[in-house]
Structure 1
Amino acid sequence: MRIYCAACDHKGRIGSREEITRRYVKLYCQCLDPQCGHTWVSELTFKHSLRPPTQQLDTLLVERIRNLSPAQQQELFLQVSSPQLD
């Protein structure tokens, strides 16, 4: 991960980190330009998934099917088992 100084736009380095939660971390940073010397705190956080983990996807699918009425489940299974016409 690259980090840049907000004051002079030179490369910076992460000197230390403070894990607030598993998904939120404070990064204590320093500018690598000796003429600048800026130090700052940045935040690193988890925002959202682009694709859920495979195990979670399977669980969500089964849960969703269980919430369908028996007639809806039967219709779904008929659609899945019938041959697809291209």
Structure 2
Amino acid sequence: MENQQPDSRWKSVAKGLTWRCLATLTTYLISWGLTGSLETASQIAGIEFVLKFGIYYMHERAWAWGPIQVSKVKSKLTKARA
């Protein structure tokens, strides 16, 4: 697992965009069904897309950085002690 590379920033963006499109479509359809208004459903879906895409990107980057960087630091410490 130490050789595993984190996803690139662009891959995180692509994953975020594809997921947000699918999830936003779902939100749009639910909002339209509940309100009966295409305009309100569009506003809800638009806000949801922007906010949740940003949150997803930050979450994805934290996961890409965290475990791999921790294992690199542990490896360096182990080598330094030897």
TM-score range, shorter chain: 0.3 to 0.5
**Structure 1 length-normalised TM:** 0.31
Larger helix fraction of residues: 2
Q: Which has the higher contact order (CA 8 A, sep 6+)?
A: 2
Q: Bigger radius of gyration, 1 or 2?
A: 1
TM-score normalised over the length of structure 2? 0.32
